[in-house]
Structure 1
């Protein structure tokens, strides 16, 4: 699914985004990710017409320099139901999240959704300083790791204070988007993934309808969520940048908001403890909130763990991944799905 852009495609996207005077001096494809194409571009100092940024916080580079071009798969690519309009979702996430004090997200300098420049949607964004936390992790000692996890909890608490007007995916079809209640939205989101499982037929450890049945039988727990909060839902350490500032590592970037939705803020406690139990991370929880998680809250988190595990198990088929290469990831997702369902039962 992921493709490498040609120099001509990159130049065309830059001209569409920034005007005909845009000049790309160099480009380099960034590693990581299996869905979108991401390239780091070096631009010449601008001349001629420039377009206005459409999202994020701060200012785009005024004198040219490095920017990030992110391009979706081409039209006609097999997608899971929730994966439609992901670029619009990501741009909306950065726009809304940029209002959170101290939360570092890219500025969206330009977005192309009409596919007049490329055969897919794209975002042109400012580059944030730092390297993925997952890459730096081996060199981080336990004390510094705990401090960073506490900082992440504080940042996430601020993100969840951003509120929406309805539940579900920003551009999702009802009931998975634009829903009046979180129960309606989440059951719709889960039903879509179950339908995707029947469509793509990945090997699964359980019948997806059993997962849906367990959630519906416990729907009263979802009714406890009355206000839609902005949820990132992909905050594993590979999507968080760290850089050294003042002699210590700091969180300098929150990336890849394309899976974001309006819903229960506790859903973000799934990817922040990817394939694990967030209650085993007291440093994060101390930054996120002082009160311990209640039994009902832990059951809701189990629902969201099951949802994410199903996404991971299904998405390898439409993305064309070799099953053998995904064996470690599949094993982790399978174990987490079973653990979540055991907790719900």
Structure 2
């Protein structure tokens, strides 16, 4: 999902200067390979000599002229922050930030240099993963995400939007996030397959569910199979990396139960939930209200998918298989939200 005709093309010299600045004057870039499959930034694999690492990954954000959704501002800064916070948890396989260039003086976008993780993304490797291994890996993924959710912050919201630390409750922040996406739809004339007023009425009627969330937690929010790496180690497959944390925010940890079951219901993934609940500890389990909140976050992700293609200039017909699935999941999540049991004292 690239921004067509807007990608910057960094020269080898620019990458070499960044590597030299952060990895030492003896570090050299001997090869620079553009990686495919990214949805927002340019991504390159750098082959290195004279550095502790033999390879690194360089990400470059789109130039300022590219039209963005509201939440997409400064995403590489969000990603770098996610890895810094996530690195405090042992056993979570994240890239390590090697260096950043966010002053936009030497390039027309932000640049993030990080370690290269071995493995293939789960989406690509799916057909090669034996059925007997899948449940073990799903359990491991759930455990890793559950461990990551022990990282807590000081305020809710996107890191680059100034909301963390302001003291606003999660209900206020999340409803503003959702409102921003709908505003983006109007700004870019994105066609949405539902009545906006009806959607907002349903969300408002169930907004009391969000009041259960009082502690800001580090949320990745893009944990679909393409952002999970697997590699063979000592004769068996292991999860070797969690990558592309551009959509991260401080919020309800249950928001991370959406993309692992992309356009589906995480309740159907027993292996993932077994690992996740064990990592959360103290007899953690998902109740009706929890699944109601997950439904809200499914709606939010579906809205992003339905809107983002318009400012990025995608062909609607080519994108239809994806947007059709997002639409179906949005309505399924709305139905699930409708069925959430009200509070004993009535919905507020």
Match in the other structure for 1:151: 140
Matched position secondary structure for 1:324: helix
Rounded to whole Å, the distance in 2 between the matches of 1:135 and 1:22 is 32
What is the Cα-based RMSD across aligned positions, in Å? Answer: 1.8
* Contact preservation (8 Å) 2:34, 2:43: yes
Match in the other structure for 2:318: 325
Q: 1:178 deviation in Å?
A: 4.1
Q: 122, 129, 136: which is aligned to 2:118?
A: 129
Match in the other structure for 1:42: 47
Deviation per residue, 1:186-221 (Å, 9 max, x gap): 011111111111111222111334333322221210
TM-score by length of 1: 0.90
> How many pairs are equivalent?
328
* Contact preservation (8 Å) 1:40, 1:67: yes
Asked if residue 254 in structure 1 is aligned to residue 254 in structure 2, the reply is no
Change (3 A) 1:291 1:110: closer
User: Pairwise mapping of residues 218-237 of structure 1 onto structure 2 (< 5 A)?
Assistant: 218-237=206-225
* Contact preservation (8 Å) 1:148, 1:250: yes
TM-score by length of 2: 0.90
Rounded to whole Å, the distance in 1 between the matches of 2:331 and 2:198 is 12
Between 232-241 and 140-149, the greater mean CA deviation after superposition? 140-149
User: Pairwise mapping of residues 190-201 of structure 1 onto structure 2 (< 5 A)?
Assistant: 190-201=178-189
Deviation per residue, 1:159-185 (Å, 9 max, x gap): 1110011111111244x8844311011
User: Pairwise mapping of residues 107-118 of structure 1 onto structure 2 (< 5 A)?
Assistant: 107-118=96-107
Between 291-300 and 301-310, the greater mean CA deviation after superposition? 291-300
Rounded to whole Å, the distance in 1 between the matches of 2:181 and 2:104 is 27
Rounded to whole Å, the distance in 1 between the matches of 2:166 and 2:204 is 19
Match in the other structure for 2:150: 161
Change (3 A) 1:278 1:91: same
Query: Which sections of structure 2, spanning at least 5 residues, go unmatched?
Result: 278-282, 339-348
* Contact preservation (8 Å) 1:240, 1:253: yes
* Contact preservation (8 Å) 1:66, 1:127: yes
Match in the other structure for 1:89: 78
Match in the other structure for 2:269: 281
Match in the other structure for 1:10: 15
Q: 272, 286, 309: which is aligned to 2:260?
A: 272
Rounded to whole Å, the distance in 2 between the matches of 1:42 and 1:194 is 42
Query: Which sections of structure 1, spanning at least 5 residues, go unmatched?
Result: 47-61
* Contact preservation (8 Å) 1:87, 1:123: yes
Asked if residue 31 in structure 1 is aligned to residue 24 in structure 2, the reply is no
Rounded to whole Å, the distance in 2 between the matches of 1:99 and 1:119 is 31
Matched position secondary structure for 1:222: helix
* Contact preservation (8 Å) 1:169, 1:178: no
Rounded to whole Å, the distance in 2 between the matches of 1:139 and 1:21 is 40
Matched position secondary structure for 2:99: strand
Rounded to whole Å, the distance in 2 between the matches of 1:159 and 1:212 is 31
